[in-house]
Amino acid sequence: MLTIKKHLSLKPLIEGFKQELDDTPDRRRKNSVDYPILDTALSVLACMFYKSGSLLKFQRLMEKKLYKCNLNTQFGVEEIPSDNQIRTIIASIQSEQFSDVFKTYLCRLQRGKHLKKFCFEGKYLVALDGTQYHTSEDISCPDCLVKKKNNGKVEYSHTALQAIICHPDRNQILPLMPEPINQHDGDAKQDCEINAAKRLLPKLRAQHPRMDFIWLADSIYATAPFISMIHDHDEEYIFRIKQGNHKYLYECLEAAPYHSHKSVTGDTTIAYRWYEDRFSPYNAVKFYNRGNVQKQANQVFELFI
C-alpha cells in the first residue's frame, strides 16, 4: 500500500491541477461566461472523485448541502453548470491541455520515491489498450468515428488509447495521458488504435526521456511494422498473439523447443507453454523469460492455455 506524502495528498494535487489548467484559453464571449473553464474542469474532476455514475447523478448529489460544501472546501468551486453545459464547456478544451497534468503527477510520484516501486528490471511496463467512452446512434460530432452496423444503422463513437504503468507485484496502476482516436479533417481513412499508438509513443518518450519502457499490448500490435518502430528505439515489448492472426508464427512456434508448466486448481487445469528468445523470421513477436517477467507475460499473453 502506498504511504501518501504531503505533496501527494488531495489538496496539493488539486492545486497542481489548477496550475496546469489556469491558462487554458477561453474562446467564449466574456459577457456570456457564467462558469469559468477551470471551475468546470474541477467539477468534472470532483465528479470522478465522488465516483458519480454520470454527470446528472453528480448534479443531484451536489444538491445536498454536505456534498456542496465539500465541493467548495476541497475543490474551491462555488457553483457548477448543468450537465449539458459541462459537456459543452469541456468539449471546447483541447485534450492536449491535460497532458501536463499527467506529467506533473508522475513527477510528484518520482519525487516521493513512489515511481521507483514500479520499476521492473530497470524499466517500466506500460500497457496499451483502447477504450470507448461514448457511443450513440443519434448524437454525433465531426470528431466521431463512424461505424455502419449490420442492421443498416450508423453508430457514432469516441475512443481513446490509454497507457498505464503497471507492475506484476503491485495492485495499483499509474495512468499516463491518453491519445484520442477520432476523425481528422482531410483524412480519407478513419483513425484507429494503431495510428493512435504511433502518435502516443513518441509523446511519452519526449515527456519522460529518462524512463525506459517495455510495451505491453494485445495481438493487433504484434505486426512487423509496429515492432520495427519499437526496435528503432532499442525498446522491448510483450505482445499477446492469436492463432487466427498469426498462423505462420504459430507454425514456427509449434516446431520450436519450449518450456511447459501445468497449474491445477480444483477441477481446472491450466497448461502454460513459453519460449526463450524466439523470433519469427519477420520479428513478429518476442518472448521474455527473465524472472518475474514470465509472470507478467502469462497475464498479458494468455499463451497456449
pLDDT at 3: 58
Nearest Cα residue to 276 out of 262, 300, 260, 264? 260
For position 174, what pLDDT does the model report?
Answer: 95
Q: Which of 16-20, 94-98, 122-126, 297-301 has the highest mean pLDDT?
A: 122-126
Q: Greater confidence, 10 or 238?
A: 238
Mean residue pLDDT of the chain comes to 82
Lowest mean pLDDT, pick from 160-169, 202-211, 256-265: 256-265
The pLDDT score that the predictor gives to residue 4 is: 60
Pairing mode, strands 123-136 and 145-148: unpaired
The string of DSSP codes covering 129-168 is EEEEEEEESS---TT-EEEE-TTS-EEEEEEEEEEEEE-T
Alpha-carbon distances of 18 from 70, 75, 83, 141, rounded to whole Å: 17, 9, 21, 28
Mean pLDDT of 228-242: 90
Q: Give 194-225 pLDDT, tens digit per residue.
A: 999 999 999 999 999 999 999 999 999 988 88
Q: What is the pTM of this model?
A: 0.78
